[in-house]
Amino acid sequence: MPSVVSEPRAVVRTGWPPPRAAVRNRADHYERPVLLGITALAALLFLWGIDHSAYHAFYASAVRSMTGSPVAFLYGAFDPAGSITLDKLPGFLWPQALSAMVFGFHAWALVLPQAVEGVACVLLLHLLVRRWAGVPAALAAAAFLTLTPVTVGVGRSVVEDAPFVLLLLLAAEATQRATERARPRTLLLAGVWAGVAFQCKMLEAWAVLPALAVTYLVAAPTTRRRRIGHLALAGAVTAAVSLSWMLAATLTPPGSRPYLDGTTDNSASGMVVGYNFLTRFHLVGIDAAGTGSIVTGGAAQPGGAAPGMGDSVWKMFSPGLATQSGWLYPLAALGLVGGLAALWRRRAPRTDRLLAGHLLWGVWLATFFVVFSFGSVTGHTYYLGVVAVALSALAGAGVVQGWRACRAGGRRAWVLPAVIVVNVAWCAVLTLRYPRFFGWSVPVAVVLCLTGPVLTGIRPTRRTGTVGLAAGLAAVLLIPAVWSASALSLRYNQPGAFGRVGPSSVRTGTALSTLTPARQRLLAYLTAHRDGARYLAAVPAWTTAAPYIIAADASVLPAGGFTGRVPFPTTRDLSGLIDSGRLHYVLLRRSDTVAGTRAAQTPAGALARWTVAHCSPVPPAAYGAPGRTSPLYHCGPGHGG
């Protein structure tokens, strides 16, 4: 495949893949059916059991609320009345809200967009690698991505990473086309996609910019001055699209939009820069509280399987993370190091297509590897979906390059068999922490591993060499494929949950998404005595509000935001709502009313003390509650202060 450039002297036809005209006919015979099979497998892994999806209580509450009004949709309101937002930008939930509008509010309808986005990621990665390294590498990369557990988990969840990874791949695809012929307009499109990705995961989206910028700066066939100018324009577009939501929130009067969760000052910068960046990257050395951010002692780690907050690059090799995304490290290293070495040996020009691809995926992998090594992923392995993309691309290229070296003979013929052995050993090491989880997969992989390199290396015939390669790849893929396939069982993955697949997965449960009989009686009482109020009641936490929002779309006012430390609503806000008739009832937790307790020091504790002093308790028998339930208070004329 020749490098596509506008300068005649830069055209290169050496190296691999072979010229497109020579491989098109052969590729047409197997590419489409193989790709169709990979796509069908991806759809099966993402969609199987979707009817058993569970609600992610925090995000599902927001989706239910976002379907109610354009303002709630735009700002990602947590409650139906649009009082407070999520603790992050809402872009990743917009597809889920649209799906709920079309199919109705069901748990599976919230998972469906992620499954579609996951399949699209597989197809788009195939397209990117095909242009760069040819059909065999593209098919291998698509298969690797499909059988990586984190990809399956993300495609079956409601978290941010399925749309996020898809948008970054779209940015990479536009950059790839822009680099081929130095097209500034196409590069601007890449900036748009990166800016839209910002609406999903905020500043993490900018971690892809070094890969896109280095690729274009080095490989675009035009002068250095123009390359820099094009990148400056694309950077401006990226910044404009990225900051558009923050600008809209800042310019909108606070009374006309929800309060921004995660902040002490209701500021977009406090949410994005402070709460969602500085609190996760302590090495930056900037006090997040100074930006208007809530600062907590750290988040819980689901399943307890992930390492602590960012310490070093070794974290990425720990079983808690690597079993979800890092099975292919050796093959990916072969693709990156071996590819760069081959380019160096043949003195490839800067505009070479292969060089551009290695720059794109190499810098992509290195950047996100460092980001997650030294930043907090708080046990959420779905963050690593973006790492799996680069690993799959490089591993696919490495397999094809190594196979060509095997067929050519010489000293490098044993490189691929050796890397396959190392990769299978690495996979076996990762399983040591989980010896009872499909333990048969390790000995079977070892048998295949011993068969594959022998046939590939000896290579008495072309057919046995091909069989040897197939056996070696099967050995590498067997263990991660077993982990990925375990998602078909609710025991090892529940659609709608956090995206972890395998023995350390955690079920979401229904405690925060269903109305117990006691909650139903309380809801009936509040509805009967609403008396035209905007809110049925103010409640002490989002966990208290979620069942009423998810099950009944009830307008309740949660206090404290996601962390419980957000100063909203204040006692002044509460008093104003009561005086205006928009709120008549406040539900408390007994722990909030006990002086000296930790709960009493939170914003909910301050509201509880004010409520006890200014409102009247409702007898539990009036709403059919047991004696030790959370107390309900009535506030109104004669009780407000």
CA distance 127 to 142: 9
Beta strands 556-558; 585-587: pairing state: unpaired
CA distance 252 to 256: 7
CB 185 within 8 A of CB 233: no
For 613, other C-beta atoms within 10 Å of its C-beta total: 10
Question: Among residues of the chain, what percentage have pLDDT more than 90?
Answer: 73
What pLDDT is attached to residue 309?
Answer: 41
What pLDDT is attached to residue 604?
Answer: 82
Phi, psi (deg, nearest 5) at residue 617: -70, 145
The four Cα atoms 185, 187, 191, 193 give a dihedral, to 10 degrees, of 90
Mean pLDDT of 503-512: 82
What pLDDT is attached to residue 297?
Answer: 60
Mean pLDDT of the chain: 88
Q: Where are the beta strands (DSSP E) in 129-263?
A: none
What pLDDT is attached to residue 600?
Answer: 61
To the nearest 10 degrees (0 to 180), the angle between helices 57-66 and 542-552 is 50
CB 214 within 8 A of CB 359: yes
What pLDDT is attached to residue 4?
Answer: 37
Six-digit token string for 594: 């006990």
What pLDDT is attached to residue 3?
Answer: 39
Beta strands 616-617; 537-539: pairing state: unpaired
pLDDT digits (tens, 9 = 90+) for 181-231: 999 999 999 999 999 999 999 999 999 999 999 999 999 999 999 999 999
CA distance 602 to 318: 36
Which residue has better confidence, 13 or 268?
268
For residue 173, pLDDT beyond 80: yes
For residue 415, pLDDT beyond 50: yes
**Residue type for 340, please?**
L
E strand or H helix that includes residue 31: helix 20-47
Residue 455: pLDDT band with limits 50, 70, 90: low
pLDDT digits (tens, 9 = 90+) for 460-472: 556 766 777 888 8
Residue 501: pLDDT band with limits 50, 70, 90: very high
CB 219 within 8 A of CB 355: yes
Mean pLDDT of 590-616: 80
What pLDDT is attached to residue 193?
Answer: 98
What pLDDT is attached to residue 299?
Answer: 41
Nearest to 86 by CA among 98, 99, 72, 69: 72
CA distance 148 to 134: 21
What pLDDT is attached to residue 304?
Answer: 37
CA torsion through residues 598, 600, 601, 605, sign: positive
What pLDDT is attached to residue 458?
Answer: 55
For residue 15, pLDDT beyond 60: no
For residue 23, pLDDT beyond 70: no
CB 528 within 8 A of CB 624: no
Judged by DSSP in three states, 284 sits in helix
For residue 586, pLDDT beyond 70: yes
Judged by DSSP in three states, 155 sits in helix
Residue 504: pLDDT band with limits 50, 70, 90: confident
CB 478 within 8 A of CB 445: yes
Residue 636: pLDDT band with limits 50, 70, 90: confident
Q: Find how far residue 32's CA is from the centre of its chain.
A: 29
CA distance 534 to 96: 26
For residue 579, pLDDT beyond 90: yes
What pLDDT is attached to residue 377?
Answer: 67
Mean pLDDT of 107-129: 97
Residue 7: pLDDT band with limits 50, 70, 90: very low
Q: Where are the domains of the chain?
A: 8-397, 517-634
Question: Among residues of the chain, what percentage have pLDDT more than 70?
Answer: 88
Per-residue DSSP letter, 277: I
pLDDT digits (tens, 9 = 90+) for 330-350: 999 999 999 999 999 989 999
